[in-house]
Structure 1
Amino acid sequence: MQGLTETERVGFTKILNLMSKSDLLSLSDTVTNKMIVVENISEATETILSFTKDAEELLRRKKVQRELIFKYLAKEGVAMPPNSEKHQLVRRTLQLWSSAKVVVDESHRGDPDGNRRQRPTETASDSTDMKAGVGFDPLVLGQQFCQWFFQLMNSQNPSLGQQPQDWGPQHFWPDVKLRLLSRTGSEQMEDFLGAELVSLRLSALTKEERLLFCPNLEPFGLKALVSPHGLVLVAVAGTIHRDAACLGIFEQIFGLIRSPLDHNSWKIKFVNLKIKGQEALGGAEVAAPALSYNSSELQLLCS
């Protein structure tokens, strides 16, 4: 049996880091049939990963609780209904790891040394470059960008108990514009201009307001278009949470343009963010919200 893939090991490490020490040591005993004695968290984690041959089997272990998998998926920017059952979360996690494995495998093509690996905080620009020879797919870029962006943004939330990733104005164009429309009781519109202000306002949503953004990356929740001038438009819908409570939904549109002076990476040119609280939804189902924008409306933003 070949054991866990590198993608699965990285994912499991993040899940195991969410567990209490007692549960982690107990899980190590279960996986090894108490044949190996571990003395600390790092030993327990490495032992569990080394002795696990099947990812699904480990995910279904009793000590790998439903709440841990839900929190892990949220950190990775994967939206799941708060009432999802464990088997649904397990299946979605395996799908996530399987798709990530494809990206990593493709990133080795054309590299005789096999050194090309996608970093956890790698921007969508780098991972999309590998597809340049077979045609540009804006939807692939949109999916990779959203996974990267919301994982980065959510990492600023102190309630998740993880190390914040490298958020900052460096991911935006200097003249970036943000329009924030919130409907939470009353309607409020805010406009911000400049990389520093836009970066601070967006990070405040997760860092200070402790919101968690879970994008819906299924076809009805994500659209991506490209203009003749090189602007890529990414539109995504999702749910907003604080701890275990679902507070409402959001729709966010990004305009992305490559920066030739910064390794040709994609940077954010503008952001339109709409937030609707539960009271504005009238009790409607928000588990996996769809985009309200159609392609014609999005095309206007590309012009």
Structure 2
Amino acid sequence: MDKFTNWERQGLKDFFNSSAAVDTVIPVAKIVSKNMLNPQSNSEAIDMILLHSTSTQSILNRKAITKENLFKYLHAKKVPVTSEFTKQLLIEKILQYWKQSFYLCDDENDEEMRNERTKPIAQPQTNHHISTNHSSDQSEQFPINQMARKFATWFYENLNTNRLQVSDFWCNCKCAVQFLENQQCLMEEGHLGAQAALEFCQSLLAKYNLYLNLNISHSGTQGRIDCHGVVLVLTCGTLHKVNQFVGTFEAIFGLSRDPYSQNNWKINQMSLRLHNFNAQQTQNASLSIEQPTLITSNSIVPLLSLSMPNGDEEIG
């Protein structure tokens, strides 16, 4: 199997041919070859780097590639970076940019596609005009979104009937919860470990008497892949108690396979925001037939710009 995906190869070539990093390609090539080879051109150096390196991370982590190189590259691509950045954070930003820019374009002979790749990445907006970043009719049937709907249906059915098990979570699963009212955070909880995550999920039913009604439509349940290859399931819906509508929720799940458990998908992270409505809000919302959607959630909207592979390749 090739050590690098097509988008990683294209990204590395784009990086080493950029003004921000062109001076690093020969030194890195000499490092990976232990100074046994002397490349005569940047193209030859890039080929050497790809041949003798184990991963994209190992390349970008070379001392010859500094934070300045990485930052200047992101700046040239119009990718914003917070002021408190580390080299690892810059690398993650670059990988995310490459995945968004190069993942869906494989035809190296298509000039129009190649030109399209070099355009700056579109940054997430927090308004209602970015529905999904893809054609809704087409993207709804992407494998990642089919998987998201399948997982979400399974999870919320088991959550609401108290049938989740500790084996459904990774042993080091992280669970973050916020209880909000009028957009103000009333309480936050953090849970670490499979048993703690399971007990919190059980408390939603036993302690808070909540029923989470998922918006299973494409507007309320979608999948993405982050820069580490973790599958993200983005969901939202309404909160209910017996014969009572009490608010809305949004939840983000991180999923990865467990090779020691028949390669099953397990939850390695979960972020949940529960919005409690006051009496007037509840009455107004009850009159509306519209379900909450992903694009109305400030916590989820930025994630909609992450990769959404549309091919038939296996996920994970």
**TM score, norm. by length of structure 2:** 0.46
State which structure, 1 or 2, has the greater radius of gyration over its C-alpha atoms: 2
Identify which of structures 1 and 2 has the higher relative contact order when contacts are C-alpha pairs closer than 8 Å and 6+ apart: 2
